[in-house]
Amino acid sequence: MLRSVRGDRAAGVARAGASPQPAGDARRDCGDKRTDAVMNGASDVTDGEARKAFWTGAAVIVPITAAVGVVNALTVISDRPDFAVWEPWSWEATSALVILSLIWIPWLALMRAPPGASPWPRVAITHAAALLVFSALHVAGFVLLREAIYALQGAEYDFGNIAERFPYELRKDALSYLALTATFWIALRLREPPPAHQSSPMFDIRDGARIIRVRGDEILAVTAAGNYVEFNLSDGRLPLMRTTLAKLEADLAPLGLIRTHRSWLINPAHLTGLEPDGSGDWTVELGTIRAPLSRRYPAALERLRG
């Protein structure tokens, strides 16, 4: 994937009607770049979602690989008119086809040793081994295909000295391998389930003989009502509880409620507005509820103002 400039051109190809060219010359004239990607973290998905992630990654890889191959071939044709037109197309097509047939290798390595979820020595060893297999099969595959294509054209394809050429191909394949792995890693991350919602702490309102259990985020405000306190809940209910606001303040503090007035506790999470009264006091808007904020509670004002 992602052979970005004049990819696997024939090293020393012998074209029909032309003398063999030294392996190094074509490589020096037409280099090769690939897109790299940095990977961090890990993926935690079900088998079904993993299969979907594979095909999602493949759906991205295939058109990009094809597009880069076309650009590379056209670039070589423009820069090197001494090559027959069919040659750059054969180089890019064979390289792309073999790479696409091998995308399962970085995928399996990623599933076996995902970065961030496996020890780094295991990640390094697994992906290094996978890269060697990937590159060896890639080189062997495109050489065989090119030899067949050149034979059909009455020419001979010469890859060159394997001891010299393979390290060069391996360096380029390392970037392709990283790009493939990064694509699959991103696809896996997109398939990860959302983090589990952490529910708000619960509170029991003892309304007479009844116990009403509510989440902390359901409480908009609490007001003093003689020997009782009245809860303003988000669903419109107004249950009463026999207790004092001072005692309840300590119980509701862990749920985020704060004192704004001697007769009011409010939940800042439901704040929709603050309005000064002109005397140093404020009015707190909690949707349709308007609660007083006394100047005697400057800490509450500071918190509400953020």
- Encode pLDDT of 128-141 as tens digits: 999 999 999 999 99
Tokens standing for residue 178:
């990283």
Q: What are the DSSP E strand ranges found in the chain?
A: 202-207, 210-215, 219-225, 228-233, 240-242, 258-261, 264-266, 273-276, 282-286, 289-293
In sign, the C-alpha dihedral spanning 147, 150, 154, 157 is negative
For residue 204, the model assigns a pLDDT of: 94
Is the pLDDT at 287 greater than 50? The verdict is yes
Spelled out in words, what is the top-level CATH class assigned to the domain 202-305? mainly beta
For the chain, which residues make up each domain, given as ranges? 23-190, 202-305
| Distance in angstroms (rounded) separating the CA atoms of residues 273 and 198 | 27
Query: Given pLDDT bands bounded at 50, 70 and 90, which one contains residue 237?
Result: very high
> What DSSP state is assigned to residue 234?
T
Query: Given pLDDT bands bounded at 50, 70 and 90, which one contains residue 6?
Result: very low
| Distance in angstroms (rounded) separating the CA atoms of residues 219 and 232 | 6
Strand, coil or helix: 193 = coil
Name the nearest CA neighbour of 31 among 234, 210, 172: 172
Q: By the 8 A CB rule, do 107 and 188 touch? A: no
Q: What proportion of the chain, given as a percentage, has pLDDT over 90?
A: 72
- Which one is predicted more confidently, 152 or 7? 152
Is the pLDDT at 22 greater than 80? The verdict is no
Answer whether 0.85 is exceeded by the pTM.
Answer: no
Q: By the 8 A CB rule, do 258 and 266 touch? A: yes
Taking residue 46's Cβ as centre, other Cβ atoms within 10 Å add up to: 10
| Distance in angstroms (rounded) separating the CA atoms of residues 8 and 92 | 7
Q: By the 8 A CB rule, do 23 and 160 touch? A: yes
Q: By the 8 A CB rule, do 126 and 115 touch? A: no
Query: Given pLDDT bands bounded at 50, 70 and 90, which one contains residue 306?
Result: confident
- Which one is predicted more confidently, 45 or 275? 275
Name the nearest CA neighbour of 129 among 140, 121, 118: 121
Query: Given pLDDT bands bounded at 50, 70 and 90, which one contains residue 37?
Result: very low
For residue 199, the model assigns a pLDDT of: 66
For residue 193, the model assigns a pLDDT of: 75
For residue 197, the model assigns a pLDDT of: 59
Segment 73-101 shows an average pLDDT of: 95
Name the nearest CA neighbour of 35 among 61, 74, 59, 11: 61
| Distance in angstroms (rounded) separating the CA atoms of residues 18 and 156 | 10
3-state helix, strand, coil in the chain (%, to 5): 50, 20, 30
Query: Given pLDDT bands bounded at 50, 70 and 90, which one contains residue 28?
Result: very low
Name the nearest CA neighbour of 243 among 258, 260, 266, 265: 265
For residue 196, the model assigns a pLDDT of: 59
Maximum Cα interatomic distance, the chain, rounded to a whole number of Å:
106
Is the pLDDT at 282 greater than 90? The verdict is yes
| Distance in angstroms (rounded) separating the CA atoms of residues 122 and 187 | 22
Is the pLDDT at 38 greater than 70? The verdict is no
Mean model confidence pLDDT for the chain: 85
102-111, 192-201, 252-261, 290-299: segment of lowest average pLDDT: 192-201
| Distance in angstroms (rounded) separating the CA atoms of residues 304 and 272 | 10
